[in-house]
Structure 1
Amino acid sequence: MGFRDWRTPLLLLVALVLAAAFGRIERWEGFQNVSMSKKNMNSTLSFFIDSYNNASNDTYLFRVRKLIQSQMQLTTGVEYLLTVKISRTKCKRNATKKTDCPLQKKKLKKSLICQSLIYTVPWVKHYRLWNNSCLEDELSYKDP
């Protein structure tokens, strides 16, 4: 092992440090608060609520009532970290898949706040729900 054996890795390390220092290496910044395009938002939220309804044991379908927060991260596709409010509708799960079902009122009224991680490759219409966590909305009985 001579002088040349350690010089090449050292030169590569110096080049890497200089490139990083001068901004030549782009880093993914992680999740950013960015508004989704209307097209991506509609298809991503539709995918989310369909996934939720398919996994739910509730007699009634839920629908997205409000998008609370949307964060995006670019990876090999696009990852969305969504916080949404969903509410129980009057439509039964086996009867219909309508998106304009009226919301339940009074006794059967129920709202959840869900945080979901959805991976998508929108240009090929590929969606995958990686994580979903829903908690009952404490204000659901006080909402109009």
Structure 2
Amino acid sequence: MFAWFCIFVCASAGCVVAVHEYTMPGQPHEVPVNSTGVVRAALFAMVEYNRDNAEDLFAYKIVNITSAKIQVVAGINYILEVKLGRTMCKTSDTTDTEPCVYHSEPKELRCHFVVTEIPWEDSSVLTQNKCNNHGSDC
């Protein structure tokens, strides 16, 4: 019964999950970094990061998602390692950094994000947010 619940939750979240006999319920497992759910969670985390760091003059956007895991709990945890790059857009001007060009004085952050999605409530929360300058230890 639990396996059907997991499949239903993941299907409604738009992610593809391979169910293995050796996967423990609640155990995080790797998923493709370009899957729909992962990209959606990473974009959500980036917007929240920019909003929470309004004192930073420039907004950041995703350079790449370096790893992604999901964990089925009372919802879905997306556990993400993401590289962000500083843009020319002001933090206060936009939440859509897609059209923003990268800053001429590069600054990259390496971030660990955990986004908890509850698909049946149509809600997402950034539950962990830890970023460091690229090259420093997390």
CA RMSD of aligned residues (A): 2.1
Could you say which residue in structure 2 is the equivalent of 1:128? 125
Runs (5+) with no aligned partner, structure 1:
1-25, 140-144
Report percent identity of matched pairs: 22
In the comparison of the two structures, how many residue pairs are matched? 112
Could you say which residue in structure 2 is the equivalent of 1:20? none
Secondary structure of residue in 1 paired with 2:86: strand
Cα distance per residue 1:63-116 (max 9 Å; x no partner):
01100000111111101110000010000112233322000123xx21000011
TM-score normalised according to structure 2 size: 0.72
Could you say which residue in structure 2 is the equivalent of 1:72? 70
Asked if structure 2 preserves the Cα contact closer than 8 Å seen for 1:40 and 1:122, the reply is no
Structure number with the higher helix fraction is: 1
Shift of 1:130: 1.1
Could you say which residue in structure 2 is the equivalent of 1:35? 32
Q: How does 1:101-120 map to 2 (within 5 A)?
A: 101-106=100-105, 109-120=106-117
Structure whose CA Rg is larger: 1
2:48 is aligned with 1:51: yes
TM-score normalised according to structure 1 size: 0.69
Runs (5+) with no aligned partner, structure 2:
1-22
2:99 is aligned with 1:100: yes
